[in-house]
Chains A and B, each alone.
Chain A
Amino acid sequence: MTEFFAQGGFGFFVWGAYGMVALVLLVEILQLRAQRRTILARLGRLSRMRDFGARE
């Protein structure tokens, strides 16, 4: 196991490269999910406002 993480002494370079890929792709996925939730919440608010306006 230790041997695997050491990558023959090049662990810093191998995991530095793989780590950045994992980090950036994960952040992109989380950002997309947050963006979708924000838009749906705003559209829901707009729709409730319209319903309220129609009842007046």
Chain B
Amino acid sequence: MALNWFRFASPAAFYPLAGRLIPLFWVLTVLALALGLYWGFFETADRLGGGNPQKEYYRIIFIHVPSAWMSMWLYVVMVSWAAIGLVFNTRLSFMMAKAIAPTGAIFTFLALWTGAFWGRPSWGTYWDWDPRLTSELALFFMYIGYIALHSAIDDARRADRASALLAIVGLVMVPVIFWSINCPDPNQCAALHQRSNLTTIEGNILFAMLTMTFAFWMYSFATSLMRLRSIILMRESESLWVRELATIGGRA
């Protein structure tokens, strides 16, 4: 194989690569945001008909569903890096996991917040101890726990390993959220959050929602890599290449 991927497992090699990728991810974020927001607000109907009559407030779907998806995907990505770090003992993998956590926590918070602002007009309440809402809240605390545990241990290598284990245990929340719809028929039980089906969503709404999801993915790549570069600089500050970079003013 001509290209040696393992070269990029070294922080010194990945740092400049991430620096080149970040602007690309920002461009994709802005383009997808512009398209998704335009489509969501101007190419969709004001009111939904059919079996689920909702007025303009349903447009929260274009940020609510992508945020909720990101909250779960980023947790899986974070745990994957943490597990790779534990198995192969690679420093960069742990740094990746640590760099993803704050962005994941932010999207979990936003899923809860946008859900509350959607729940008030549609269900009549900002919050309910519904299975899906409750399990999403628990995921938020898993992110907070990971970040808190990592920052509570002074030794970086020990902090990496301990918080990686905590993150792996917390992975149980993701399938719980996914299957937390305990109400097959809304006429028979009180759960608020109902099962949704991508194939029954109207085409323009689905397009705007998936475009916004792509935008949030690109945003997550960009912010995680920015945070990763800062983590690399801090952890490798004694290494020769960071010293040289600091001498020339950090423009690389």
Binding site for B on A (CB under 8 A): 4, 7-10, 13-14, 16-18, 20-21, 24-25, 28-29, 32, 35-36, 39-40, 43-44, 46-47, 50-51
- Mostly helix, strand, loop or mixed at chain A's interface? helix
> Which residues, 42 to 93 on B, are CB-close (under 8 Å) to A?
46-47, 55-57, 59-60, 63-64, 67
What's the Cα separation between A44 and B249 when bound, in Å? 7
A32 to B117, CA, bound (A): 28
Contact of A14 with B60 in the complex, beta carbons under 8 Å: yes
Q: Bound complex: CA of A32 vs CA of B55, how far in Å?
A: 37
Q: Are A17 and B242 in contact (CB under 8 A)?
A: no
Measured CB to CB, the residues of B under 8 A from A are 41, 46-47, 55-57, 59-60, 63-64, 67, 102-103, 106, 109-110, 113-114, 117-118, 120-121, 219, 223, 226-227, 229-230, 233-234, 237, 242-243, 245-247, 249-250
Q: Which residues of B contact A10 (CB under 8 A)?
A: 55-57, 121
The 9 A-B pairs of least Cβ separation, nearest first, read: A43-B246, A8-B56, A17-B117, A40-B250, A10-B57, A17-B114, A7-B56, A47-B246, A32-B226
A47, B230: Cα distance in complex, Å: 17
Given contacts A7-B57, A44-B249, 19 further A-B contacts (CB under 8 A): A7-B59, A9-B56, A10-B55, A13-B117, A14-B60, A17-B60, A17-B113, A18-B63, A20-B117, A21-B63, A24-B106, A24-B110, A25-B219, A32-B223, A35-B230, A43-B242, A43-B250, A44-B250, A50-B243
CB-defined contacts of B56 to chain A, threshold 8 Å: 7-10, 14
**Complexed CA–CA distance, A12 and B242 (Å):** 48
Closest beta carbon of chain B to A47's beta carbon, Å = 4
Bound-complex Cα distance A52 to B57 (A): 62
B60 touches A13 (CB 8 A): yes
Query: Is B219 a contact of A36 with CB atoms below 8 Å?
Result: no
Q: Which residues of B contact A46 (CB under 8 A)?
A: 237, 246
* B118 and A17 contact, CB distance less than 8 A: yes
- Decide: A25 and B57 in contact? CB cutoff 8 A: no
Total A-B pairs in contact (CB under 8 Å)?
89
B67 contacts A13, C-beta separation under 8 Å? no
Query: Would A29 and B223 count as touching, CB distance under 8 A?
Result: yes
Cα separation A32 to B249 with both chains bound (whole Å): 18
Instruction: List residues of chain A with CB within 8 A of the CB of B223.
Output: 28-29, 32
Known A20-B110, A28-B223, A44-B250; contact A14-B245, beta-carbon cutoff 8 A: no
Q: A14-B59, A25-B106, A47-B243 are in contact. Are A39 and B113 (CB under 8 A)?
A: no
Q: Complex formed: what's the CA distance from A8 to B234 in Å?
A: 50
A-B contact pairs, 21 of them (CB 8 A): A7-B56, A7-B57, A8-B55, A10-B56, A10-B121, A13-B57, A17-B63, A20-B113, A21-B63, A35-B227, A35-B230, A36-B233, A39-B234, A40-B233, A40-B246, A40-B250, A43-B242, A43-B246, A43-B250, A44-B249, A47-B246
